[in-house]
């Protein structure tokens, strides 16, 4: 009887979920009751006796942060095997982020990987997230990892594991620290999440009065309502010296509607003293003349940073920079 009602529960859960989950075992873990903690109490990561992270049973009820289709970055990903990725955030950490724009200690994020489905009536075209292929987690816990964030893989197709050991730094952490927009989290792919958070406060760098700039760059006069991150967050002071190092999202300066990040306060001070030396030199693309600069496409030439409209323009410029930079 007990088994039958458990199975029935499983079937009900399957029927009510939007997608078909192949891992019914998740619903049948004994002794797992829905947590009904007061909303104010932060939910923190739990670890087993072997130090492995426990997969929170209610992760499917977490807050939706963003999704992507077919983003590929893992080693050994089969080409052509597209998946939906959904990023979910533990609700109490989500609330903290919405209030402060920061990921507090104990923040947990899930990345759910779903295969694609199509041709199910009444759909005639398009694809939807179908069977679960994997669950990964990112956890910020400096008490366990000096570098803060740790990454876990709970398996997928053949069933989810209840606990997972932290992955080696070079498998996951190194890409996140290098490429993610804010504090190891890929905010650049989660507009929904980014929009709920206040922006970190920036030191405003006063623009030197320049009649030429005023006449030729009307865009630069517009109020910098939401500055775009320049040069992918690299420190511009180091970049002009030939060194590529990510600036910190908390050490920033806004200049001509763009946001720059720095590795240190002294570098920010140097930038503030000479913003025209260290910032992107141009507002319109030197290669596709007239096209606006996207501040994430850039190249350094003779200790100056130039911006471009597209990645192709950067390549073009690098092959003969002298053609584009008039002395």
Residues at the site binding ligand HEC, with contacts judged by CB under 6 A: 68, 71, 73, 85, 87, 109, 111, 136-138, 151-153, 167, 171-172, 175-176, 180, 184-186, 189
Minimum CB distance to ligand HEC smaller for 112 or for 313: 112
- Cα distances (angstroms) measured from residue 38 to each of 32, 35, 221, 286, 295: 18, 9, 48, 57, 44
CA neighbor of 182 nearest in space, from 136, 146, 229: 229
Q: Is 126 exposed, middle or buried (0-12, 13-18, 19+ CB in 10 A)?
A: exposed
Give the nearer residue to ligand HEC in terms of CB position, either 197 or 305. Answer: 197
The Cα–Cα gap between 163 and 65 comes to 23
Shortest Cβ 82–ligand HEC spacing (Å): 12
Nearer to ligand HEC, 45 or 275 (CB): 45
Q: How far is the CB of 176 from ligand HEC (least distance, A)?
A: 6
Q: What's the maximum distance between 2 C-alpha atoms anywhere in the chain?
A: 85
Our CB check for ligand HEC shows the closer of 188 and 264 to be 188
Distance in angstroms (rounded) separating the CA atoms of residues 43 and 18 = 26
Least distance from ligand HEC to the Cβ atom of residue 237, Å: 26
- Rounded to the nearest whole angstrom, what is the least distance from the CB of residue 156 to ligand HEC in the complex? 12
Residue closer to ligand HEC, measured from CB, 113 or 305: 113
Closest distance to ligand HEC from the beta carbon of 308 (Å): 23
Instruction: Give the separation between CA 150 and CA 53, rounded to whole angstroms.
Output: 10
Q: Residues 268, 279: contact at Cβ < 8 Å?
A: no
Least distance in Å: CB of 204 to ligand HEC? 29
Compute the least distance from the CB of residue 94 to ligand HEC, in Å. 12
- Compute CA distances 113 → 83, 85, 130, 151, 316, whole Å: 6, 5, 9, 15, 37
User: Judged by CB, which is closer to ligand HEC: 66, or 236?
Assistant: 66
């Amino acid at each position: 009887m007990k088994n039958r009602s458990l199975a029935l529960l499983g079937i009900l859960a399957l029927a009510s979920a939007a997608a078909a989950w192949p891992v019914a075992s998740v619903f049948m873990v004994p002794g797992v009751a829905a947590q009904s903690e007061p909303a104010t109490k932060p939910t923190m990561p739990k670890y087993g006796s072997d130090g492995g992270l426990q997969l929170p049973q209610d992760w499917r009820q977490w807050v939706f942060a963003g999704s992507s289709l077919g983003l590929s970055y893992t080693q050994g990903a089969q080409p052509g095997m597209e998946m939906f990725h959904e990023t979910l955030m533990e609700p109490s950490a989500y609330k903290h982020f919405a209030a402060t724009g920061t990921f507090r200690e104990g923040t947990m994020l899930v990345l759910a990987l779903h295969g694609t489905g199509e041709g199910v009536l009444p759909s005639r075209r398009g694809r939807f997230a179908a069977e679960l292929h994997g669950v990964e987690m990112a956890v910020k816990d400096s008490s366990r990892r000096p570098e803060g964030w740790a990454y876990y893989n709970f398996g997928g197709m053949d069933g989810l594991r209840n606990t997972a050991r932290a992955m080696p730094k070079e498998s996951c952490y190194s890409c996140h620290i290098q490429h993610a927009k804010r504090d190891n989290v890929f905010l650049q792919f989660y507009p929904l999440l980014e929009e709920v958070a206040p922006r970190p406060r920036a030191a405003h760098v006063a623009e030197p009065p320049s009649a030429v700039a005023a006449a030729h760059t009307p865009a630069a006069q517009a109020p910098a309502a939401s500055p775009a991150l320049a040069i992918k967050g690299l420190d511009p002071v180091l970049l002009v010296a030939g060194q590529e190092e990510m600036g910190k999202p908390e050490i920033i300066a806004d200049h001509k509607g763009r946001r720059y990040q720095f590795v240190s306060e002294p570098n920010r001070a140097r930038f503030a003293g000479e913003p025209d030396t260290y910032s992107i030199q141009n507002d319109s693309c030197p290669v596709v003349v007239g096209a606006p600069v996207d501040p994430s496409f850039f190249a350094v030439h003779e200790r100056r940073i130039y911006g471009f409209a597209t990645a192709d323009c950067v390549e073009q410029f690098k092959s003969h920079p002298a053609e584009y930079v008039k002395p």
